[in-house]
Structure formats: C-alpha cells, structure tokens
C-alpha cells in the first residue's frame, strides 16, 4: 500500500478552491453517488466510473448529467487529468484498482473526507448516527425543516420516492446520515468522523458491524473522536447504555445544549399511544408538557421523531409549528413499506437485520395490524447477522411473530473471529417458544413456504437488506396486487 498521494482532510480544506475536476472511482454506491451529486451541485466538474450500474442510483446519476464510464475502459492518462480522485469503499486495499489509483500521482481520498472538506466545512451539519434509525430519522428531520420554511441540505442513505438522495440546500442546516462503518481501505475510521459535524443526534448505540468492530467499546471510541469538537447541540437516546456513557463522559460542565431523551428520561416521549393509523405522545420541553400526534406507527419511530422535535425546539422553532410538521411524514422505502398483497397476505418490506430492530419492527406491525397473523421472513445477510453473535437474541425477537421463515443464504460470515449463524437451530429455538418456524436455503423452498403460509388472512413481513434469496427479483413481485 502506497499512500504518498493520499491527501489529508486538512490539506483538502486548504486546497479546496484549487480543485475543479473530480473523478469518482466506483461511483454507483449509495454514498458515492450521493456525494458525486452534491459535488456537482456545488460547482465541481464531476466524472465517474463503475464496473456496473444498477437502479435507483444509476438512474439518478444519469438524470444529473454526470459523465459516466465503465471502469474497464478508463485509462491511466484519462485519470491523470483530474485534480482529485474519490475512492469508493468497495475498492479493496489489496486490489489492482488500489495499486492503479496509488500510482497515478493524483491526490486521492474517500468520499466522506471529500464531502466534509469540500462541501460541509462551512455548513451547519446535523449528524444523525446510531445502530438503528439513522436513515429514517435523517429523512424525518429533513421533512420537518422543509415544513418550517427552511431549505436544508441533506444526504439520506435510502431510496425515497420522488426525491433525490442528496441536496446541497442553503447550508443553514445540512442533515446527514452518519454511518459508523469505515470510509475506505485507507480510512479505517467511521464516516461521520470526516463529515465536519456541528450537531449530533445519537438514536441508539449497541454492537453491530462485527466484520470491522470487535466490541461495542470500539464503536464508542469512534464517537469519542468527535464529541469534544461538537460546537452546538448533542442529543442522546438514554435507552442505550453506551449512549448514556458517552453523554456522561463528554457533556461540558453546565452545558444547556446536551440532552438525554427516551421513555425514561425527563424529556420523554411519554404516554405513547399507537393506533391503527396514528401515534400520540407527550414531551416535556424546557419545563412545559406538550402533546403530539403523527401518522407514523411504532414506538421506535416515535423515539426517532422525538429526537427531531427536541433538536428543533432547541433551535428556537415554535413548538406549535413543530407539531404541525410531524402530522404527516413520509417514510424511506424498505421501512415498513407495504408492497401489495400476495394471496391473502399483506406484504411488507423492511430493512431490519439486528435483534432490536426486528423486535421493534414486529411490535409496530402488530400495533398496526392487531388482528392479523404475522408471518416473518428473515434473511440474515449482514456480516453480523450471518454470525452466531446474536443466535439467542434473534430467536427471542423473531418469536414475537406468529410464524417465522429463516431464509438462510449460503454465505459464511466475515465477523471478526465469529462462527456462522445456525439457521436450523434458530428455527428450532423459535419453535421451543411456541411459534412455527422453518429454515430454508434456496428460493424454491422459500416460495413453497410462502405459498402454503399466506392462504389465510395475514401479514407477510419480509426482513432483508438485500434480495431475500432472490425473492425480490423473482416472479413473486409480479403476483403482488
């Protein structure tokens, strides 16, 4: 590994007015594509290449007019014409691609460093971080600011109907999903450490990403790198031990802009009432109790909304105006997204892949569809989910369903020192809890299980952050009504 031409964050900031032409190496990733669009909007000449292009990011990139190439036709002489090369996290440090980039003599960096130094340095950046709820909460706060008459910039790591994944805005507020995953093969630090955050909302914090972190304490250390430098508001969910630990460690003496929120905190939310189409709750804001109502379902989403309400109240927006902003909020795709009906079942697509996320998602679906049987299909596909780390916790969370199908991919885990999840043992443990469960390992068996399970009126809750053994790319989708 030769990092002679890796440009530091500080040097990027110093030279940002000299950088004109920027090349994105593996542009079609969610973060890379969104960053490229922000850079173009900020006035840079942006070009990119990737080995393949897939919707929705490919469609959006094409709509912006960014010049796109196939990676195998990009030559060294062409790359040498750029002022800066942005390297995607999908580029391995051991690959020929890395050796090529390092040999060009062109400054290179990761997209979080590029974004922080060249776009966000002079913006009021609000980072939304945490194990769960980052994408949803980022979108909630963006919508709320817009309804309050602001023009926020944003970067949301999810698919949203009718909206670009990123926007520059006025920089008075820039809301960014702040991922704890690492940034590039040469930047083995969390993305949010490079975003120039001025404010932080920490929705949750527990162990995940077992392929790069060995413990939750290692994730805490990533936050320790930024907390002393926050200039404005910091908001922590007190329901997570690690979040409270960080709050207590770093809260400045007599600070009035650091907060703990949660169902057990002084702020709330309290008295959460989940109905079929709405949720009601109360919060204690600056010594006064206020009632709120929203169309969003699920206690975990109420906690996400509450963090946004608290941030906006701290910013000085009128509480009555804030109340209006949450009455009708849209969700990111693949977050409790109703995709249609199959046979006699309502089909819901969700991203949950951690025991806590599964628990709160099933609880939210149960609250919304009180009298229906819940059939949950779970594809353990992330590095952590494919490992045995949460073997017991998965059984507990999935047992909240009436019936469970484990869609187990034939992929070994990449968790550090981890063993593979035993899908058949997981199904057996769920059955010991009195619920019907089965493990399948191919699309054909999965389809047979779905066909036999959905003949009665029910909800089919599909939990996967990919294709669920290819289900979402099969004829199953054609039969949704």
| Residue after which a domain boundary falls, among 325, 346, 363 | 325
From 115, 141, 159, the end of a domain falls on 115
pLDDT tens digits for 89-131?
999 999 999 999 999 999 999 999 999 999 999 999 999 999 9
- Asked whether residue 332 is assigned to any structural domain, the reply reads no
Both structure tokens of 204: 């949750």
CATH number at residue 460: 3.90.190.20
Q: Which pLDDT value is given to residue 426?
A: 96
Amino acid 411: pLDDT: 92
The answer to whether residue 44 sits within a structural domain is yes
Give the domain range for residue 17.
9-115
CA angle 172, 178, 179 (to 5 degrees): 165
Same domain, 24 and 88: yes
What is the DSSP code (8-state) at residue 420?
A: B
| Same domain (yes/no): 22, 130 | no
Both 110 and 191 in one domain: the answer is no
Asked if the structure places residue 331 within a domain, the reply is no
By the 8 A CB rule, do 307 and 268 touch? no
Residue 275: count other Cβ atoms within 10 Å of its Cβ. Answer: 12
Sign of torsion over alpha carbons 413, 102, 89, 7: positive
Where the chain has pLDDT below 50, the residues are none
Query: pLDDT tens across 246-265, in order?
Result: 999 999 998 999 999 999 89
Look at residue 4 and tell me if it is in a domain.
Answer: no
* Residues 100 and 134 placed together within one structural domain of the fold: no
Answer whether 448's CB lies under 8 Å from 343's CB: no
pLDDT, position 157: 78
Kindly state whether residues 464 and 320 are assigned to the same domain.
no
**Boundary of a domain, candidates 115, 146, 178:** 115
**Shared-domain flag, residues 453 and 383:** yes
Domain count, the chain: 3
Give residue-wise pLDDT tens across range 337-369: 899 999 999 999 988 888 988 998 999 899 889
Query: Are 138 and 266 in the same domain?
Result: yes
Strands 84-87 and 21-25, sheet pairing: parallel
316-325 pLDDT, tens digit per residue, is 999 999 999 9
Chain length of the chain: 481
Q: What is the dihedral of CA 91, 95, 100, 105, to 10 degrees?
A: 70
Q: How far apart are CA 274 and CA 281, in angstroms?
A: 9
Do 190 and 312 share a domain, yes or no? yes
Residues 140 and 286 in one domain: yes
């Amino acid at each position: 590994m030769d990092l002679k031409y890796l440009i530091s964050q500080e040097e990027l900031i110093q030279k940002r007015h000299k950088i004109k032409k920027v090349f994105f190496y593996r542009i079609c990733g969610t973060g890379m594509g969104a960053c490229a669009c922000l850079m173009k909007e900020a006035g840079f000449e942006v070009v990119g290449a990737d080995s393949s292009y897939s919707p929705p990011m490919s469609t959006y990139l094409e709509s912006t007019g960014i010049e796109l190439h196939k990676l195998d036709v990009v030559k060294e002489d062409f790359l040498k014409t750029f002022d800066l090369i942005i390297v995607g996290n999908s580029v391995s440090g051991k690959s020929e691609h890395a050796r090529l980039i390092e040999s060009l003599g062109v400054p290179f960096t990761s997209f979080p460093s590029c974004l922080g130094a060249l776009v966000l340095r002079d913006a009021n950046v609000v980072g939304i971080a945490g194990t769960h709820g980052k994408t949803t909460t980022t979108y909630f706060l963006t919508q709320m600011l817009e309804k309050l008459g602001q023009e926020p910039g944003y970067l949301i790591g999810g698919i949203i109907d009718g909206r670009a994944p990123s926007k520059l805005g006025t920089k008075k507020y820039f809301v960014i999903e702040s991922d704890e995953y690492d940034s590039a093969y040469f930047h083995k630090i969390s993305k949010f450490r490079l975003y120039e955050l001025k404010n932080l909302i920490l929705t949750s914090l527990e162990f995940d990403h077992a392929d790069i972190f060995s413990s939750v304490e290692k994730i805490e250390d990533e936050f320790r790198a930024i907390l002393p430098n926050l200039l404005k508001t910091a908001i922590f969910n007190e329901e997570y031990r690690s979040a409270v630990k960080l709050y207590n460690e770093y809260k400045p003496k007599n600070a009035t802009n650091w907060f703990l929120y949660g169902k057990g905190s002084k702020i709330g939310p309290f008295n959460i009432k989940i109905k079929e189409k709405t949720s009601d709750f109360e919060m204690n804001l600056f010594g006064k109790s206020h009632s709120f109502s929203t169309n969003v379902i699920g206690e975990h989403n109420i906690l996400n909304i509450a963090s946004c309400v608290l941030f906006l109240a701290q910013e000085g927006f009128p509480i009555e105006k804030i109340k209006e902003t949450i009455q009708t909020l849209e969700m990111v795709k693949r977050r409790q997204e109703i995709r249609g009906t199959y046979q006699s079942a309502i089909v819901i697509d969700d991203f949950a892949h951690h025991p806590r996320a599964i628990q709160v998602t099933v609880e939210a679906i149960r609250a919304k569809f009180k009298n229906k049987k819940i059939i949950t299909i779970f594809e353990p596909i992330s590095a952590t989910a494919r490992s045995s780390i949460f073997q017991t916790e998965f059984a507990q969370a999935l047992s909240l369903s009436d019936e469970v199908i484990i869609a187990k991919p034939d992929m070994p885990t990449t968790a550090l020192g981890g063993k593979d999840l035993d899908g058949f043992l997981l199904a057996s443990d769920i059955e010991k809890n009195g619920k019907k469960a089965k493990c399948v390992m191919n699309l054909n068996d999965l389809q047979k299980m779905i066909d036999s399970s959905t003949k009665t009126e029910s909800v089919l809750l599909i939990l996967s952050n990919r294709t669920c053994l290819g289900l979402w790319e099969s004829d199953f989708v054609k039969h949704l009504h």
